[in-house]
Amino acid sequence: MEIQNVMLFLAHLEFQKAYSPATVRAYATDLEEFEAYLQDISLSLGELEKIHKKHIQKYLAFLFQQKLAKTSMARKMSCLRSFFRFMLQKKIIHENPMTGIANPKQEIHHPTMLNVDQVVSMLDEEVEGDFSYRDKALLELLYGSGLRISEALALNLQDFHEERNTIKVFGKGGKERIVPLSDTSIKSLLIWLEKREIVAKNLQEKALFIGKRGKRLNRREANRIIEIYRKKVGIATSVSPHDLRHSFATHLLEGGADLRSVQELLGHSKIATTQRYTHLNMDMLVNVYDKAHPLAKNIKNDDNTPNKDNK
């Protein structure tokens, strides 16, 4: 799709907003699909002044008819919202057709949460072969530091700082953050780096995690690795890389970490995103309240006797 308005917008995302290549491609795909819809109704992104709110509403109805996931519809609306806002800023259009267009109400889906014993059993499981050290280092990073799988697979050799016990991560939108590493994660990474020198077929490859062909490990292979470990330790349900990240966040919160700190570790720009990872039960919330809130001293126990702090 070589529409000038679209190319201008994508260049803005890439060079001014510093969005990742994957994000720019996703926006390009969404705009391509919207353009295909517009052409079916004799419109085009090359004639923006002819696109009105009613066309966006009809497109949203079309997506509903296609039984597209609500998360996908929301992403497409977000893309169009950014696109038309940019066109408005550049004065290419004078009215924003996205005004008043809301995202479809999202269904709340919580990722699978492993308990501590399940995670430890996966991390302690031994699998033969030099690449098993790679697998162990990857699992340690996903759970021990809560990395997204895309972040872990994008890591390069120079991102690991052994002397600082940290790793440099590039998250969504190319945002950089420094993530602390656990002792076991550092140990696993150091062992893998030794083995990597033996198995690496391409010495010019900068990727921290490589596959058996010497190239950067891909997402499909990473998913397969986790499934191997999951089956070996007898976890009945499928486990994804995101499940390990979710377990990392939940276990931190259950251990007493504050939400803001977990937000920083996960690389979330909004605290509301971090809150979706919580599975805090009422007993834990009451316990936190009792310890932290000054009015908690006036709360009575279940047997209607005052707390000791009231005496």
User: How far is Cα 181 from Cα 179, in angstroms, rounded to an integer?
Assistant: 7
Least confident of 53-57, 79-83, 127-131, 192-196: 127-131
pLDDT digits (tens, 9 = 90+) for 267-289: 888 887 777 766 544 455 566 66
Catalytic residue among 242, 260, 279, 293: 242
175 classed as catalytic: no
pLDDT digit string (tens) for 207-233? 999 998 899 999 999 999 999 999 999
Q: Are 136 and 192 in contact (CB under 8 A)?
A: yes
Whether 70 is a known active-site residue: answer: no
> Catalytic residue at 268?
yes
> How many C-alpha atoms does 246 have within 13 Å on its Cβ side?
18
Q: Of the residues 172, 177, 187, 195, which is catalytic?
A: 172
Residue 109 annotated to the active site:
no
The answer to pTM > 0.75 is no
Residues in contact with 298: Cβ distance below 8 Å, sequence separation at least 6, in sequence order: 310
Catalytic residue among 55, 75, 85, 148: 148
Instruction: Identify each DSSP E strand in the chain by its residue range.
Output: 160-161, 166-170, 176-180
Q: What pLDDT sits at residue 258?
A: 86
**Is residue 279 among the annotated active site residues?**
no
Q: Is 113 buried (19+), middle (13-18) or exposed (0-12) by CB count in 10 A?
A: middle
Asked whether the beta carbons of 80 and 98 are under 8 A apart, the reply is yes
Res. 59: pLDDT tops 90: yes
Q: Is 245 a catalytic residue?
A: yes
Confidence class of residue 85 from pLDDT cuts 50, 70 and 90? very high
**Cβ atoms of residues 121 and 115 within 8 Å:** no
Distance CA 196, CA 182 (A): 21
DSSP state of 68: -
CA nearest neighbour of 172 among 21, 10, 8, 63? 21
Mean pLDDT over each residue of the chain, to the nearest integer: 86
Contact 149, 222 (CB under 8 A): yes
Q: What is the mean pLDDT of residues 41-65?
A: 96
pLDDT digits (tens, 9 = 90+) for 127-167: 788 899 999 999 999 999 999 999 999 999 999 999 899 99
Catalytically annotated residue among 76, 134, 230, 245: 245
Q: Which of 134, 136, 246, 268 is catalytic?
A: 268
Q: Distance between CA atoms of 119 and 121, rounded to whole angstroms?
A: 5
What DSSP designation does 261 have? Answer: H
- Which residues have CB under 8 Å from 37's CB, separation 6+? 59, 62
